Amino acid sequence: MLAIFQKAFAHPPEELNSPASKFSGKAAKLPGETLSDFLSRHPETAFSMSFGQAASLAYVRPDRTRFSLHQRLFCGVEGIYCLFLGRLNNLCSLNRQYGLSGKVSNDAMLVIEAYRTLRDRGPYPADQVLRDLDGSFAFIIYDTQTSTVFAALSSDGGVNLYWGLASDGSVVISDNLDIIKQGCSKSYAPFPTGCMFHSEIGLKSFEHPTNKMKAMQRIDSEGVICGANFKVDVYSKTNSIPRRGSEANWALANSR
Protein backbone atom coordinates (compact mmCIF):
# COMPACT_ATOMS: atom_id res chain seq x y z
CA MET A 1 0.00 0.00 0.00
CA LEU A 2 1.06 3.57 -0.62
CA ALA A 3 -0.23 6.92 0.59
CA ILE A 4 1.12 10.34 -0.35
CA PHE A 5 -0.05 13.53 1.33
CA GLN A 6 0.84 17.09 0.41
CA LYS A 7 2.91 18.73 3.15
CA ALA A 8 0.34 21.43 3.92
CA PHE A 9 -2.26 18.77 4.77
CA ALA A 10 -0.12 16.27 6.68
CA HIS A 11 2.34 18.47 8.64
CA PRO A 12 5.13 15.85 8.92
CA PRO A 13 7.81 15.91 11.64
CA GLU A 14 10.77 18.07 10.63
CA GLU A 15 13.17 15.33 11.78
CA LEU A 16 12.14 13.13 8.85
CA ASN A 17 14.03 15.45 6.52
CA SER A 18 17.68 14.54 6.02
CA PRO A 19 20.05 17.10 4.46
CA ALA A 20 21.93 14.14 3.01
CA SER A 21 19.10 13.63 0.51
CA LYS A 22 20.42 16.61 -1.46
CA PHE A 23 23.96 15.25 -1.66
CA SER A 24 23.47 11.48 -1.80
CA GLY A 25 23.69 11.33 -5.59
CA LYS A 26 20.14 10.01 -5.75
CA ALA A 27 17.62 12.79 -5.18
CA ALA A 28 14.17 12.20 -3.74
CA LYS A 29 11.38 11.89 -6.30
CA LEU A 30 8.29 13.98 -6.82
CA PRO A 31 5.05 12.39 -5.50
CA GLY A 32 3.79 11.58 -9.00
CA GLU A 33 7.00 9.74 -9.82
CA THR A 34 6.75 7.58 -6.70
CA LEU A 35 3.10 6.79 -7.44
CA SER A 36 3.95 5.80 -11.02
CA ASP A 37 6.81 3.61 -9.78
CA PHE A 38 4.48 1.81 -7.36
CA LEU A 39 1.82 1.21 -10.00
CA SER A 40 4.34 0.02 -12.59
CA ARG A 41 5.49 -2.76 -10.28
CA HIS A 42 2.00 -4.24 -10.21
CA PRO A 43 0.51 -3.42 -13.62
CA GLU A 44 -2.25 -6.04 -13.40
CA THR A 45 -3.36 -5.69 -9.80
CA ALA A 46 -2.70 -2.11 -8.62
CA PHE A 47 -4.97 0.90 -8.73
CA SER A 48 -4.89 4.37 -7.22
CA MET A 49 -7.10 7.29 -6.25
CA SER A 50 -6.02 10.92 -6.23
CA PHE A 51 -7.68 13.82 -4.45
CA GLY A 52 -6.46 16.86 -6.35
CA GLN A 53 -3.09 18.00 -5.06
CA ALA A 54 -3.92 16.94 -1.48
CA ALA A 55 -3.45 13.16 -1.48
CA SER A 56 -3.00 9.94 -3.46
CA LEU A 57 -3.75 6.42 -2.27
CA ALA A 58 -2.60 3.25 -4.04
CA TYR A 59 -3.37 -0.39 -3.35
CA VAL A 60 -2.41 -3.78 -4.75
CA ARG A 61 -5.16 -6.38 -4.79
CA PRO A 62 -4.10 -9.50 -2.87
CA ASP A 63 -3.11 -12.66 -4.69
CA ARG A 64 -5.92 -15.06 -3.86
CA THR A 65 -3.78 -18.04 -4.83
CA ARG A 66 -1.36 -17.39 -1.98
CA PHE A 67 -2.21 -17.65 1.70
CA SER A 68 -1.11 -14.79 3.91
CA LEU A 69 -1.74 -14.04 7.57
CA HIS A 70 -1.84 -10.35 6.69
CA GLN A 71 -4.82 -9.02 4.81
CA ARG A 72 -4.53 -6.14 2.36
CA LEU A 73 -7.71 -4.10 2.33
CA PHE A 74 -8.88 -0.82 0.88
CA CYS A 75 -12.30 0.74 1.30
CA GLY A 76 -14.07 4.06 1.57
CA VAL A 77 -17.18 5.15 3.47
CA GLU A 78 -18.73 8.62 3.13
CA GLY A 79 -15.52 10.31 2.07
CA ILE A 80 -13.25 8.46 4.53
CA TYR A 81 -10.75 6.12 2.87
CA CYS A 82 -8.64 3.46 4.59
CA LEU A 83 -5.66 1.36 3.54
CA PHE A 84 -5.26 -1.57 5.93
CA LEU A 85 -2.59 -4.25 6.31
CA GLY A 86 -2.71 -7.04 8.89
CA ARG A 87 -5.48 -8.65 10.88
CA LEU A 88 -7.62 -7.82 13.92
CA ASN A 89 -8.13 -10.77 16.25
CA ASN A 90 -11.15 -9.24 17.97
CA LEU A 91 -13.05 -8.01 14.92
CA CYS A 92 -16.34 -9.65 15.97
CA SER A 93 -16.43 -8.01 19.40
CA LEU A 94 -15.39 -4.65 17.90
CA ASN A 95 -18.19 -4.91 15.33
CA ARG A 96 -20.67 -5.26 18.19
CA GLN A 97 -19.06 -2.36 20.06
CA TYR A 98 -19.40 -0.05 17.05
CA GLY A 99 -22.84 -1.25 16.03
CA LEU A 100 -21.72 -3.10 12.90
CA SER A 101 -23.13 -6.51 13.82
CA GLY A 102 -25.19 -7.94 10.97
CA LYS A 103 -23.57 -5.63 8.43
CA VAL A 104 -20.92 -6.54 5.87
CA SER A 105 -17.75 -5.44 7.64
CA ASN A 106 -14.03 -6.06 7.45
CA ASP A 107 -11.03 -4.75 9.36
CA ALA A 108 -10.70 -1.60 7.24
CA MET A 109 -14.39 -0.73 7.59
CA LEU A 110 -14.12 -1.22 11.36
CA VAL A 111 -11.16 1.17 11.50
CA ILE A 112 -13.13 3.76 9.52
CA GLU A 113 -16.05 3.46 11.94
CA ALA A 114 -13.72 3.80 14.93
CA TYR A 115 -12.15 6.90 13.36
CA ARG A 116 -15.55 8.40 12.54
CA THR A 117 -16.66 7.85 16.13
CA LEU A 118 -13.57 9.69 17.35
CA ARG A 119 -14.10 12.50 14.86
CA ASP A 120 -17.80 13.07 15.44
CA ARG A 121 -18.49 12.06 19.02
CA GLY A 122 -15.19 11.36 20.72
CA PRO A 123 -16.43 9.32 23.74
CA TYR A 124 -12.96 7.86 24.28
CA PRO A 125 -9.43 9.20 23.79
CA ALA A 126 -7.77 8.00 20.59
CA ASP A 127 -5.08 6.05 22.43
CA GLN A 128 -7.70 3.94 24.19
CA VAL A 129 -9.50 3.21 20.93
CA LEU A 130 -6.27 1.99 19.33
CA ARG A 131 -5.32 -0.11 22.34
CA ASP A 132 -8.65 -1.90 21.91
CA LEU A 133 -7.49 -3.15 18.50
CA ASP A 134 -6.01 -6.59 19.17
CA GLY A 135 -3.77 -7.86 16.41
CA SER A 136 -1.00 -6.99 13.98
CA PHE A 137 -2.00 -4.04 11.85
CA ALA A 138 -1.02 -0.90 10.01
CA PHE A 139 -3.56 1.50 8.59
CA ILE A 140 -3.67 4.84 6.84
CA ILE A 141 -6.83 6.95 6.76
CA TYR A 142 -7.57 9.98 4.64
CA ASP A 143 -10.70 11.96 5.52
CA THR A 144 -11.71 14.05 2.51
CA GLN A 145 -14.28 16.02 4.52
CA THR A 146 -11.69 17.49 6.86
CA SER A 147 -8.48 16.86 4.85
CA THR A 148 -7.24 14.82 7.80
CA VAL A 149 -4.52 12.16 7.77
CA PHE A 150 -4.55 9.46 10.45
CA ALA A 151 -2.13 6.50 10.51
CA ALA A 152 -1.16 3.91 13.11
CA LEU A 153 1.02 0.82 13.57
CA SER A 154 0.47 -1.94 16.11
CA SER A 155 2.98 -2.41 18.90
CA ASP A 156 3.76 -6.11 18.31
CA GLY A 157 6.08 -5.60 15.33
CA GLY A 158 4.14 -8.07 13.20
CA VAL A 159 3.64 -5.56 10.39
CA ASN A 160 6.15 -3.06 9.01
CA LEU A 161 5.40 0.49 7.92
CA TYR A 162 7.73 3.24 6.68
CA TRP A 163 7.41 6.94 6.02
CA GLY A 164 9.48 9.65 4.43
CA LEU A 165 9.49 12.89 2.49
CA ALA A 166 9.25 13.38 -1.27
CA SER A 167 11.32 16.07 -2.98
CA ASP A 168 8.54 18.64 -2.49
CA GLY A 169 8.10 17.80 1.20
CA SER A 170 5.04 15.60 0.74
CA VAL A 171 4.68 12.71 3.18
CA VAL A 172 5.05 9.23 1.70
CA ILE A 173 3.82 6.22 3.74
CA SER A 174 4.11 2.60 2.61
CA ASP A 175 4.80 -0.93 3.78
CA ASN A 176 7.20 -1.28 0.81
CA LEU A 177 10.67 -0.23 1.99
CA ASP A 178 12.10 -0.17 -1.53
CA ILE A 179 9.44 2.30 -2.70
CA ILE A 180 10.20 4.53 0.28
CA LYS A 181 13.96 4.42 -0.26
CA GLN A 182 13.71 5.24 -3.94
CA GLY A 183 11.08 7.93 -3.48
CA CYS A 184 12.52 9.68 -0.44
CA SER A 185 16.30 9.18 -0.79
CA LYS A 186 17.72 9.50 2.75
CA SER A 187 14.69 11.29 4.22
CA TYR A 188 12.83 8.24 5.51
CA ALA A 189 12.48 6.14 8.65
CA PRO A 190 10.53 3.19 10.04
CA PHE A 191 7.14 4.24 11.36
CA PRO A 192 7.39 3.68 15.14
CA THR A 193 5.47 0.73 16.56
CA GLY A 194 2.66 1.41 19.00
CA CYS A 195 2.27 4.91 17.61
CA MET A 196 -0.28 6.99 15.72
CA PHE A 197 0.09 10.04 13.51
CA HIS A 198 -2.63 12.64 13.12
CA SER A 199 -2.11 15.57 10.79
CA GLU A 200 -3.21 18.11 13.42
CA ILE A 201 -1.91 16.42 16.56
CA GLY A 202 1.34 14.96 15.22
CA LEU A 203 3.08 11.74 16.24
CA LYS A 204 1.98 10.15 19.52
CA SER A 205 2.39 6.81 21.26
CA PHE A 206 -0.92 5.12 21.97
CA GLU A 207 0.88 2.63 24.21
CA HIS A 208 2.30 5.45 26.36
CA PRO A 209 0.01 8.41 25.61
CA THR A 210 1.31 10.68 28.40
CA ASN A 211 4.93 10.49 27.22
CA LYS A 212 6.43 12.69 24.54
CA MET A 213 8.11 11.32 21.44
CA LYS A 214 11.76 12.06 20.78
CA ALA A 215 13.71 11.93 17.51
CA MET A 216 16.95 9.98 17.45
CA GLN A 217 19.55 10.47 14.71
CA ARG A 218 19.77 7.46 12.41
CA ILE A 219 22.89 6.50 10.45
CA ASP A 220 22.69 4.07 7.54
CA SER A 221 25.24 1.42 6.55
CA GLU A 222 27.12 4.01 4.47
CA GLY A 223 27.53 6.29 7.47
CA VAL A 224 25.04 8.84 6.12
CA ILE A 225 22.49 10.59 8.32
CA CYS A 226 18.95 9.54 7.42
CA GLY A 227 15.55 10.55 8.67
CA ALA A 228 15.27 10.17 12.42
CA ASN A 229 13.89 7.25 14.38
CA PHE A 230 11.11 8.26 16.75
CA LYS A 231 10.84 6.70 20.19
CA VAL A 232 8.95 7.30 23.40
CA ASP A 233 10.78 9.53 25.86
CA VAL A 234 10.13 7.71 29.13
CA TYR A 235 11.37 10.68 31.16
CA SER A 236 8.96 13.25 29.76
CA LYS A 237 5.25 13.82 29.96
CA THR A 238 2.83 15.50 27.60
CA ASN A 239 -0.81 16.43 27.67
CA SER A 240 -3.17 13.96 26.09
CA ILE A 241 -5.01 14.79 22.88
CA PRO A 242 -7.10 17.89 23.71
CA ARG A 243 -10.81 17.29 24.10
CA ARG A 244 -13.74 19.54 24.92
CA GLY A 245 -16.15 17.43 26.89
CA SER A 246 -18.61 15.25 25.00
CA GLU A 247 -18.39 17.44 21.88
CA ALA A 248 -14.63 17.06 21.46
CA ASN A 249 -13.59 15.80 18.05
CA TRP A 250 -10.82 16.13 15.51
CA ALA A 251 -13.05 17.78 12.95
CA LEU A 252 -13.32 20.79 15.25
CA ALA A 253 -9.54 20.77 15.73
CA ASN A 254 -9.11 20.94 11.97
CA SER A 255 -11.41 23.95 11.66
CA ARG A 256 -9.47 26.13 14.07
pLDDT digits (tens, 9 = 90+) for 7-37: 998 999 999 998 877 766 678 999 999 999 9
| Count of domains observed in the chain | 1
Q: Domain containing 115: what range?
A: 2-254
CB atoms within 10 A of CB 27: 11
Residues 6+ apart with CB under 8 A from 151: 3, 138, 139, 140, 141, 161, 163, 173, 191, 196, 197
Confidence of residue 246 (pLDDT cuts 50, 70, 90): very low
CATH code of the domain containing 59: 3.60.20.10
Indicate the pTM of the whole model: 0.87
**pLDDT tens digits, 89-140:** 999 999 998 888 777 689 999 999 999 988 887 667 888 899 999 999 999 9
Distance CA 12, CA 1 (A): 19
- Is there a contact between 83 and 70 (Cβ–Cβ < 8 Å)? no
pLDDT top residue among 224 and 198:
198
> How high is the pLDDT of residue 66?
66
